Structure 1
Amino acid sequence: MGKRMLMLAVAATATAVTGMCAPAALAGVPAGDQDTTYVTSAHQGNLAEIAAGQDAQKNAMTSCVKDVGAQLVADHQKLDRDLKALAAKADMTLPTAPTAAQQQELKDVQEKAGTAGYDPAWLANQEAAHQKTLTLIDTQIRSGSDTAVTDAAKKARPIVAMHLDMVRGGACHTS
């Protein structure tokens, strides 16, 4: 297998494991690199959380979910500014949208807008998303080779853990 084919196989494996779409996985970054995978996936997660938080502010039935949505927007915008700065220093091209799966998950929640089912669906979606993000962060902390990227993951971890606590168990808890 040639080097290019091996790189494509590694990219396809990374894509399958992380749930990224192939174009994002290959967007000007070396395939298979843990640090790059973290920055790309965390960025897409931030974009998804910002969109979900904005949607909650618009469609949630309870003030708690609206408030948590606002908190997610503020925190994930800050986290994403930090990631974009890291990516710029590394001359890394980032995707411009959440993954197709993340977009579909938000659409599924949005279908419940205006009903009593919206808030529980939104909370469940956020719980799952933040659990996945914590796994991504912990993998970077354990396996990352770039100190700046790993430091960003360490900085993000308590914020993401707090968000998880805010939505855990399908119940809304403000900080």
Structure 2
Amino acid sequence: MSAKRSAAVVLAVHLLLSLGLTGVAHADDPVDAGPVQQTPLGPITAMDKDLLVKVRLAGLWEMPMGEEAQTRAASQRVKEVGAQLASDHAFLDQRVLRLADQMGVELPDEPNADQQSWMAEMRSATGAAFDDSFANRLRAAHGSIFPVIAQVRAMTRNEAIRQFAQVGNNIVLKHMTLLESTNLVTAEVGLAKPVAAGAAPDAASANPVRAAQVVPTGGPNMMTVLLICAVGAAVTIGLLRVLRPKGSVK
């Protein structure tokens, strides 16, 4: 191979690698789960403990609101969904309290400020207004914790936490489906990032379809992929022409 042809090959490979690596250099970087703490049930991280806290907090407001749906809701479906959510969270609450006690993890005894604001909003309403608030606030909250549970399930090294996360993952997915079955969940509130009652979701949260199109800076976007494909095709054709033996049939 001549020096000219060698240079062409090196240049093409360099160009493809430069494009291909753009935006993906950190895609496989591990997520820091926090310092490890030894417990009678094995090691746990800050991420593991955060899951226990979040599940406890969810139960502290979803159980009472599910029960209150029996008297405040207008829709029979909302009443049924509320009863199921209250029952499932009572089950989860028993498990999280037991796990936290065995692992020495401190849990909250009351809902956080945002959750208290949602409870106040629902308690100020009855009938259709309650139904709408219940379905959307709870769907947003479940959508927020769902990826947290999945990440812990994938990363934890503690078998007890993994089993708990698996159960929690199944229940949260079930609850999102139940809440959506009320036909009251809207993109602007129920599918958006949870916000305090009375506050408006930000622009990205209010438009989940558009937000889903935003690609994190750590990974490649569609334009990069298309550009790589186009350049790759052009370089391949060019190399075939350069490296084609003289006298070959055109």
Identify the TM-score tier after normalising by the shorter chain.
0.7 to 0.9
How many pairs align? 140
1:35–1:145 Cα contact (<8 Å) kept = no
**Matches for 1:6-85 after TM superposition, within 5 Å:** 33-85=46-98
Cα distance in structure 1, aligned partners of 2:48 and 2:173: 21
Q: Which runs of 5+ in 2 are unaligned?
A: 1-44, 185-250
Does residue 100 of the first structure (1) align with residue 104 of the second (2)?
Answer: no
**Matches for 1:100-139 after TM superposition, within 5 Å:** 100-113=113-126, 115-139=127-151
Q: Which has the larger radius of gyration?
A: 2
Cα distance in structure 1, aligned partners of 2:79 and 2:128: 14
- Following TM superposition, the consecutive aligned residue runs of length 4 or more in structure 1 with deviations greater than 6 angstroms are none
Q: Secondary structure at the match of 2:157?
A: coil
Cα distance in structure 1, aligned partners of 2:65 and 2:52: 20
What are the Cα deviations for residues 61-83 of structure 1, in whole angstroms up to 9, with x where unaligned?
11111111111111100011111
What are the Cα deviations for residues 5-64 of structure 1, in whole angstroms up to 9, with x where unaligned?
xxxxxxxxxxxxxxxxxxxxxxxxxxx711111101111112121022022122111111
Q: TM-score, normalised by structure 2?
A: 0.53
2:135–2:182 Cα contact (<8 Å) kept = yes
Q: Which runs of 5+ in 1 are unaligned?
A: 1-31
2:57–2:111 Cα contact (<8 Å) kept = yes
Cα distance in structure 2, aligned partners of 1:120 and 1:34: 33
1:53–1:73 Cα contact (<8 Å) kept = yes
Cα distance in structure 2, aligned partners of 1:99 and 1:150: 25
Aligned-residue sequence identity (percent) comes to 26
What are the Cα deviations for residues 65-119 of structure 1, in whole angstroms up to 9, with x where unaligned?
1111111111100011111111111122211011111111121122222x42211
Counterpart position of 2:42:
none
